Amino acid sequence: MAYSNKVIDHYENPRNVGSFDKDDASVATGMVGAPACGDVMKLQIKVSPDGIIEDAKFKTYGCGSAIASSSLVTEWVKGKSLDEAQQIKNTDIAQELALPPVKIHCSILAEDAIKAAIADYKQKHGG
């Protein structure tokens, strides 16, 4: 199976790899995993007091498509409000990266990761 150029680009030059201090009040963390392939994805967002995602970082152990999906999502969410980021759909990720059907679950994982991070933020801030 051939990876698309966009997947290869994100895989070779992943954007926003790393971590924020999870004890920072403005930081929220989403952790998700896929039992079938053993992939683990951590996606963190740094949110301004007015609810805008200022920065995002990820760490993913998994295949090229999983890494590319999480890398892309960290790029997409920057500058978005939490509500806007909540709207990101796995189908948009899959389409942007031209993922083949067998790799759709990687985009689902990335969507679930951003949703988990937003939920973590809302829980931390009593929303």
Partner 1 sequence: MNYFQLFNLPASFDLDLTELGSRYLQLQRRFHPDQHSAGSERDKLLAVQQTANINDAYHSLKHPLLRAEHLLALRGLKISNEQRSFTDPMFLMQQMELREQIAEIEQSADPDSVIDSIERQLQQQKRALLQQLAAALDADNTAQDQLAADVIRKLKFFFKLQQELELIEQQLQD
Q: Which of 34, 78, 86, 122 binds partner 1 (CB under 8 A)?
A: 34
Does residue number 35 form part of the binding site for partner 1 (CB under 8 A)?
Answer: yes
* DSSP 8-state class, residue 3: P
Q: Of the residues 43, 106, 108, 113, which is catalytic?
A: 106
106 in catalytic set? yes
Residue 22 CB coordination number (10 Å): 11
The closest of 38, 23, 59 to 73, measured between CA atoms, is 59
Does residue number 32 form part of the binding site for partner 1 (CB under 8 A)?
Answer: yes
Does residue number 17 form part of the binding site for partner 1 (CB under 8 A)?
Answer: no
CA distance 26 to 31: 17
Instruction: Output the smallest distance, CB 52 to partner 1, in A.
Output: 24
Q: Are 47 and 53 in contact (CB under 8 A)?
A: yes
Percentages of the chain per state (helix, strand, coil), in multiples of 5: 45, 25, 30
Q: Which of residues 74-113 bind partner 1 (CB under 8 A)?
A: 104-105, 108-109, 112-113
Contact residues: partner 1, CB under 8 A: 29, 31-38, 40, 42, 59, 61, 104-105, 108-109, 112-113, 116
Catalytic residue numbers, as ranges: 37, 106
